[in-house]
Structure 1
Amino acid sequence: MILDQLVSRLEQLFEPLRSVLRPILSDPQVALLWTVLVAVSVGTLVWDIRKRNQAIPSLMKGVWGLVVLYSGPFGLALYWYAGRTQISHDSLWRRGVRSTAHCYSGCGAGEVVGVTIAQGILALAVGWVAAITFGFAYVFGYALTVGPLMQEGVSFGEAVTDAFYSETPSITIMEIAAIGIDLLLAADAHMGDILFWMALVFSLSIGFLAAFPINVALVRLGVKEGMKNPAELNAGS
Structure 2
Amino acid sequence: MDKLTRTAISATLHCLTGCAIGEVLGMVIATALGWHNAATIALSVALAFLFGYALTIRPVLAGGVPLRQAIGVALAADTVSIASMELIDNAGLLAIPGAMDAGLGDWLFWVSMAGSLAVAFVLTVPVNRWMIARGRGHAAVHAHHHHH
Structure of higher CA gyration radius: 1
Count of residue correspondences? 141
- Whether 1:109 aligns to 2:21 is yes
How much is the aligned-residue C-alpha RMSD, in angstroms? 1.8
Kindly report which structure 2 residues correspond to 1:83-122, keeping only aligned pairs within 5 A, or say none: 90-119=2-31, 121-122=32-33
Partner Cα separation in structure 1 for residue 110 and residue 34 of structure 2: 15
Distance 1:104 1:189 in 2: 22
Larger RCO: 1 or 2 (CA < 8 Å, sep 6+) = 2
- Opposite residue 195 of structure 1, the aligned amino acid is L
Gaps of 5+ in 2: none
- CA 215–153 in structure 1, closer or farther in 2 if over 3 Å, else same: same
Deviation at 1:149, TM superposition (A): 0.4
Sequence identity percentage: 34
Q: Could you say what secondary structure the match of 1:179 adopts? A: helix
Matched, 1:188 2:95: no
- Tell me how far 1:123 sits from its aligned partner: 2.1
Inter-partner Cα distance in structure 1 for 2:100 and 2:147: 40
What displacement does 1:210 show? 2.1
Q: What runs of 5+ residues in structure 1 fail to find an aligned partner?
A: 1-80, 82-89, 231-237
TM, length-normalised to structure 1: 0.56
CA distance in 2, matches of 1:96, 1:212: 6
1:219 matched to 2:132: yes
TM, length-normalised to structure 2: 0.87
Q: Which residue of 2 aligns with 1:126?
A: 37
Map of 2:123 onto structure 1: 210
Amino acid corresponding to residue 101 of structure 1 in structure 2: L
Residue 229 of structure 1 and its aligned partner are, at CA, apart by 8.2
Give the residue type in structure 1 aligned to 2:94: L
Give the counterpart letter for 2:103 in structure 1: H
